[in-house]
Amino acid sequence: MALRLPFPPYNPSCFSSSLRFGARKTKYSKILMTLSPPSKRREINDDMAKQMRTLKVEIKEVTHSMHPEKLEIFKSLEEWVEDNILTLLKPVESSWQPQDFLPDPSAEGFFDGVKEMRDRAAGIPDDYYVCLVGNMITEEALPTYQSVINTFDGVRDETASSLSSWARWTRKWSAEENRHGDILNKYLYLSGRLDMRQIEKTIQYLIGSGMILPAENDPYRGFIYTSFQERATFISHGNTAKHAKDHGDILLAKICGLIAADEKRHEAAYTKIIEKLFEIDPDTTMLALGDMMKKRITMPALLMFDGQDDNLFDHYSSVAQRIGVYTTKDYGDIVEFFVKRWNVEELTGLSGEGRRAQDYVCGLAQRIRRMDERAQERKVKQSHMVPFSWIFNRSVLV
C-alpha cells in the first residue's frame, strides 16, 4: 500500500507552517508530550529527532473514538467477511513469488540473467528510478501497515494468530503485500544502478518512524484509508509498469503490473467493506468519510528520511508528480471514483451533520483539481535540481 499527502501536498493548508518556518522545536515538543511518557522522553527525543525530520503535519492524537456499541457491527460481519472478503485472496500455491521473475541463484545461467537485467536497467532514466525506489521503500515499510490495521477496534488480530475472519484477512493481506517490497528490492539490487545502503537506511528510518494515520482506532475511518491507499498504489504501480515498458524493460513492466493487480484486488476488498458499512450504518460511515477527506489521505511513507535530505518525501513525490507516476490529479480522480463507487450522492436518511459531510465530499474532487491547477502553475516556476542519495547523489529535476 502507499498514499501520500497532497502528493505533492494534496493539501498545503494542513501543513503546520510553524514546522516549516522555524518553530519546529516547539511543535515537535508538543508531539513528544503526546507520544511519550515523561521518563522516556529524552530517549525518544534523541531517536525521533532524526527519524521525524520530514514531519509536516500536526499530530492530534484522538484515540478510540468509535462508540463501543459499534463493535457489535464488526462482530456481526465476521461471516460476511469470510464469504466476501477472504475470498478475494489468492491461495499461496497459485500466487506469484518474486523468484518467478528473477534470475535463479542456483542455476548455471544466473550471472547471464543478472547481466541481461543490468543491460536493460542501464537505459532507464534516473527520475524513473527515484519513483521506483520510493515505491519500493513504501512497500518495505509493511510492518507499520500491519501494525496500524491492528490498532482498529473490533477488527484487530488479538493474538497474532486469531481465527477471526478480520484477523485472518489482515495477516493474509499482509502476506500478499510482503512480496511487493521483496521483489522490487531484489530487482533494484540486481540492477546495479542504485546506492542500496542508502535505500536500506531509508527503510530502517521509515519503519522506525511509523506513519501518520488519524483513524482514531476506528475501523470506519481506517478502512476508508486503506481503500484510498490500495487504489493509489494500484495507479502508481500501474504507471511505473507503463514507464518501464516505454523504457524497454518488459520484465520490470511485468513485475510492476503484477503488483498493481494485487493492489486492485486489495482495493476491491476494502472498498467492499466500506460499501457494506454504508449499507448497514450510512450516517456513521458518511461522517467517517467526511472526516478522513478533511484530514486528507496522507501517504504512509510521508516520514521517509535517508539520513541526509530533510525533505526527501516532498522531493520524491515531486518527481512522481512531474513524470506522471502519481499526481494530485490522480488523488482527485480517486476521490471522484469512490464518491461514485459508494453512491455517496444518492445516500438518504442522513443526520444534518451527515448531509454536510456528504456535500463536502461530493464537491471535493472539483476543489482538488482547481487547487492542483494553481499548484502546477507555481511549480513550473519553482522547479530545480535535487540530489538523491538513492542514486549516488545524482540530481533530478523536482
Q: Which residue is nearest to Fe ion (CB)?
A: 1
Contact region for Fe ion (CB under 5 A) — 199-207, 239-247, 256-264, 285-293?
256-264
Q: Is 72 one of the catalytic residues? A: no
> Look-up: residue for cell 477471526?
164
The DSSP code sequence of 36-60 is S-GGGHHHHHHHHHHHTTT--B---
Q: Is 180 one of the catalytic residues? A: yes
Give dist(CA 42, CA 62) in Å, integer.
Answer: 23
Residue 299 backbone class (left: φ over 0; alpha: ψ -120 to 50; beta: rest): beta
Q: Cβ closer to Fe ion: 136 or 286?
A: 136
Q: How far is the CB of 139 from Fe ion (least distance, A)?
A: 5
Q: Is 263 one of the catalytic residues? A: yes
Give me 307's grid cell. Answer: 539520513
Contact region for Fe ion (CB under 5 A) — 8-16, 60-68, 71-79, 255-263?
255-263
∠ CA(263), CA(265), CA(266), 5° rounding?
A: 60
Q: What mask of x and - would describe binding to Fe ion in positions 198 to 237, judged by CB under 5 A? A: --------------------------------x--x----
Residue 230, annotated ligand binder?
yes
**List 230, 249, 309, 330, catalytic entry:** 230
Q: Cβ closer to Fe ion: 131 or 386?
A: 131
The phi and psi torsions of 13 (rounded to 5 degrees) equal: -70, -20
Q: How far is the CB of 135 from Fe ion (least distance, A)?
A: 9
Q: Cβ closer to Fe ion: 181 or 282?
A: 181
Give dist(CA 285, CA 297) in Å, integer.
Answer: 16
Q: Closest by alpha carbon to 239, among 146, 127, 339?
A: 127
Do 261 and 253 meet the contact criterion of CB atoms below 8 Å apart? no
Residue 384, annotated ligand binder?
no
Q: Is 169 one of the catalytic residues? A: no
Positive or negative: CA dihedral 382, 388, 391, 393: positive
**List 202, 233, 284, 298, catalytic entry:** 233
**E strands of the chain, at which residues?**
385-388, 394-397
Binding-site member from 1, 5, 130, 269 for Fe ion (CB under 5 A): 1
Q: Is 279 one of the catalytic residues? A: no
Q: What mask of x and - would describe binding to Fe ion in positions 160 to 189, judged by CB under 5 A? A: -----------------x--x---------
Residue 315, annotated ligand binder?
no
Residue 263, annotated ligand binder?
yes
Q: Cβ closer to Fe ion: 70 or 341?
A: 341
Give dist(CA 316, CA 304) in Å, integer.
Answer: 10
Q: Closest by alpha carbon to 277, among 265, 289, 266?
A: 289
**List 262, 267, 314, 372, catalytic entry:** 262
Residue 116, annotated ligand binder?
no
The phi and psi torsions of 159 (rounded to 5 degrees) equal: -125, 0
Q: How far is the CB of 96 from Fe ion (least distance, A)?
A: 13
User: Under DSSP, is residue 5 helix (H, G, I), strand (E, B) or coil?
Assistant: coil
In a 10 Å sphere around its CB, with 0-12 CB exposed, 13-18 middle and 19+ buried, how is residue 159 labelled? exposed
Contact region for Fe ion (CB under 5 A) — 61-69, 71-79, 258-266, 276-284?
258-266
Which parts of 121-140 interact with Fe ion (CB under 5 A)?
Answer: 139
Give me 366's grid cell. Answer: 472539483
In the chain, the amino acid numbered 238 is: G
H-helix or E-strand containing 380?
A: helix 364-382
Give dist(CA 124, CA 247) in Å, integer.
Answer: 6
Q: Is 315 one of the catalytic residues? A: no
Give me 336's grid cell. Answer: 471522484
Per CB under 5 A, does 155 bind Fe ion?
Answer: no
Do 345 and 242 meet the contact criterion of CB atoms below 8 Å apart? no
Residue 43, annotated ligand binder?
no
Q: How far is the CB of 371 from Fe ion (least distance, A)?
A: 26
Q: What mask of x and - would describe binding to Fe ion in positions 76 to 115, judged by CB under 5 A? A: ----------------------------------------
Per CB under 5 A, does 263 bind Fe ion?
Answer: yes
Q: Cβ closer to Fe ion: 284 or 298?
A: 298
Q: Is 266 one of the catalytic residues? A: yes
**List 180, 237, 243, 315, catalytic entry:** 180
Q: How far is the CB of 263 from Fe ion (least distance, A)?
A: 5
Residues annotated as catalytic are 96, 139, 177, 180, 230, 233, 262-263, 266
Provide the annotated binding site for Fe cation. Answer: 139, 177, 180, 230, 263, 266
Binding stretches for Fe ion (CB under 5 A): 1, 139, 177, 180, 230, 233, 263, 266
